[in-house]
Amino acid sequence: MAKSFITLFLLFYGTLSFAQIESYPLADYFRPDLERRTANYTGNFRFINQNNKEINTGAESRTDINLSGNLFFTNFKNTLRNQISSSTRYVLSYNYVVDIDNNKRSRSLLGANITRSFNNKIFKNETKHFFEFNYNFFLSPYTSISKNSSSSSDQYLLSTQLAIEIPLYWGKGRIELVNDAWQAANVLKFLRDESLLQKTNVSHEEITNFADRVSEIQQFRNTDFRLESIAEYEALVQYLIENNLIDPNEYKTFAIILDAWRFENFETRRSGKEFKYGIIPQFTGTRQVFYEEHLFSSSRLINYLDNPRLLGSVAYNSYRPVNMNWQRDFTNQLNIGVGFPNRFFTESDRNLTFVGQVNVSQNFRYLPNQRTNYGISISGSYQYQSALSNTLFQDKLHSISANINGEYNYYFSPRLACSVNANISFGSSDTPFYDIYNNQNGIFASISYRPY
């Protein structure tokens, strides 16, 4: 009887120990002192098929094939008082677009763009009240060549787009990065699964301490990737030995640690929620130069369109690591304000315009390990726009859209990853001039390399 009781106790204790890592509360992890820089080089392929139905002109189908290269740099700094993040993206792209209705038209587009974003949250005190300052900048020059099967003329378009916005928010809440805790728990899990973890019962406090050390190691930087990896691995093994988590005489341990560590997660996992309100000054501008060449003549037209806006904004964002393998993110935003666009590319046609926008997005991710993850996101948006000033054309716009996106990611190495996305979307736009209903499906594939 005593032996049976001891056996049952050991089984129960072992099961409890086994669950310690899986039950670690990622959502509660907080690392106030953190700085992280990343660089990502990506090659992308995208194929989109879209069907439009316009009340006046009938149906139209569009095929869009895109090839692009991206350079993407990020910087994130976290302290008790500030959260500062910035990113810069450079893109070079080529599009081949075919539109088919009564005629067949093809376009070739070669373009480039630069996007720069900056965000600084300043926290007032431990109640998590904050002031947030942002700026977002977008510049995109591109050229387009269009051919029409029913016409002998070719059309050329040189266009430059500019967009600037400076959101200012006040709010309450805090969003934290929990990647390091997730990776620390995974390293311990791999060791435990191979029966190489010295302690049968690793406490949540020990996981948190290990996560703090992982965060420090992740900040190691060296222009020589080999030397950086050696320094990271040495610090990692040293910590595990000094805290009696592994046996230094068990050689298989080092192979498992190296494998678990090298596949550091590419995914960004966040935890927390925030509510904020504020104002968003915006400006968008487009300059277009049209050329059309006929058999015996040519023509040239220059247009300029801009739209300054001032919007009031309310947003609620929630990021929740459900457990070690599941992530649920929810974001939504309401913007209401006024714009002052020049409707027909002339200053005299400017109209004071009311603008209302609602955006909602729900994202679920399944992360079985650090090499593979899956995601599905569901999003929707609605926009209403109406001219407030007297004008010959009483502009009104109702636009609604819904989108479902599936994603698969696989990591070949610590620096090389691939991603495949499948997308289905539906939309409807209603204006005094046209009504359009469209559905769109596409596939997107990318290969990315991260040097650091």
Q: Note the pLDDT tens digit of each residue in 395-408.
A: 677 889 999 999 99
Domain-located, residue 339: yes
Domain-located, residue 221: yes
Q: What is the pLDDT of residue 129?
A: 94
Check pLDDT > 70 for residue 294.
no
The answer for 273, left when phi > 0, alpha when psi is -120 to 50, beta otherwise, is beta
Domain-located, residue 246: no
Q: What is the pLDDT of residue 16?
A: 47
Cα maximum dimension of the chain? 105
Please indicate, yes or no, whether residues 148 and 193 belong to a single structural domain of this protein: no
Domain-located, residue 258: no
Higher-pLDDT residue of 52, 142? 142
Mean pLDDT score, 258-275: 81
Higher-pLDDT residue of 109, 3? 109
Domain-located, residue 247: no
Domain-located, residue 79: yes
Q: What percent of the chain has pLDDT over 70?
A: 84
DSSP secondary structure code for residue 342 in this structure: B
Please indicate, yes or no, whether residues 386 and 341 belong to a single structural domain of this protein: yes
Domain-located, residue 420: yes
Given a contact cutoff of 8 angstroms between Cβ atoms, the answer to whether 280 and 137 are in contact is: no
Please indicate, yes or no, whether residues 122 and 144 belong to a single structural domain of this protein: yes
Please indicate, yes or no, whether residues 76 and 197 belong to a single structural domain of this protein: no
Check pLDDT > 50 for residue 255.
yes
Q: What is the pLDDT of residue 22?
A: 84
The number of distinct structural domains making up the chain is 2
Check pLDDT > 80 for residue 389.
no
User: Which residues make Cβ contacts (< 8 Å) with residue 27, sequence separation at least 6?
Assistant: 178, 271, 272, 320, 321
Q: What is the pLDDT of residue 403?
A: 93
- The H or E element that residue 351 is part of is none
Q: What is the pLDDT of residue 10?
A: 44
Chain segment 328-362, per-residue pLDDT in tens = 999 999 999 999 887 554 555 677 889 999 999 99
Please indicate, yes or no, whether residues 380 and 350 belong to a single structural domain of this protein: yes
Question: Against a cut of 0.85, is the pTM above it?
Answer: no
3-class SS of residue 392: coil
Q: What are phi and psi for residue 182, nearest 5 degrees?
A: -65, -45
CATH of the domain at 292: 2.40.160
Mean pLDDT score, 285-312: 80
> Would you place residue 58 in the very low, low, confident or very high pLDDT band (cuts 50, 70, 90)?
low
How far, in Å, CA of 95 to CA of 145, rounded? Answer: 11
Q: What is the pLDDT of residue 252?
A: 87
Given a contact cutoff of 8 angstroms between Cβ atoms, the answer to whether 290 and 156 are in contact is: yes
Q: Which of 239, 222, 233, 230 is nearest to 261 (CA)?
A: 233
Check pLDDT > 90 for residue 17.
no
Q: What is the pLDDT of residue 344?
A: 54
Please indicate, yes or no, whether residues 100 and 139 belong to a single structural domain of this protein: yes
User: Which residues make Cβ contacts (< 8 Å) with residue 312, sequence separation at least 6?
Assistant: 277, 278, 279, 280, 335, 336, 337
DSSP secondary structure code for residue 167 in this structure: -
**Of 201, 221, 241, which closes a domain?**
241
Q: What is the pLDDT of residue 210?
A: 92
How far, in Å, CA of 126 to CA of 103, rounded? Answer: 64
Check pLDDT > 90 for residue 436.
no
For 293, how many CA atoms within 13 A lie in the half-sphere containing its CB?
A: 6
Supply the mean pLDDT for the chain.
83
Mean pLDDT score, 225-241: 86
Out of 101-110, 183-192, 256-265, 345-354, the most confident range is 183-192
> Would you place residue 387 in the very low, low, confident or very high pLDDT band (cuts 50, 70, 90)?
confident
Chain segment 116-134, per-residue pLDDT in tens = 999 999 998 777 899 999 9
Chain segment 199-210, per-residue pLDDT in tens = 878 889 999 999
Please indicate, yes or no, whether residues 22 and 57 belong to a single structural domain of this protein: no
Q: What are phi and psi for residue 269, nearest 5 degrees?
A: -110, 130
Please indicate, yes or no, whether residues 183 and 71 belong to a single structural domain of this protein: no
Give the domain range for residue 413.
Answer: 34-173+269-449
Q: What is the pLDDT of residue 349?
A: 65
Check pLDDT > 60 for residue 393.
no
Lowest mean per-residue pLDDT among 14-23, 123-132, 417-426: 14-23
Please indicate, yes or no, whether residues 223 and 138 belong to a single structural domain of this protein: no
Q: What is the pLDDT of residue 150?
A: 59
User: Which residues make Cβ contacts (< 8 Å) with residue 234, sequence separation at least 6?
Assistant: none
Please indicate, yes or no, whether residues 354 and 440 belong to a single structural domain of this protein: yes
Q: What are phi and psi for residue 70, nearest 5 degrees?
A: -130, 140
Check pLDDT > 60 for residue 425.
yes
Out of 215-219, 238-242, 251-255, 432-436, the most confident range is 238-242
Q: What is the pLDDT of residue 295?
A: 55
Check pLDDT > 60 for residue 162.
yes
Higher-pLDDT residue of 424, 387? 424
Please indicate, yes or no, whether residues 149 and 291 belong to a single structural domain of this protein: yes
Please indicate, yes or no, whether residues 235 and 285 belong to a single structural domain of this protein: no
Domain-located, residue 45: yes
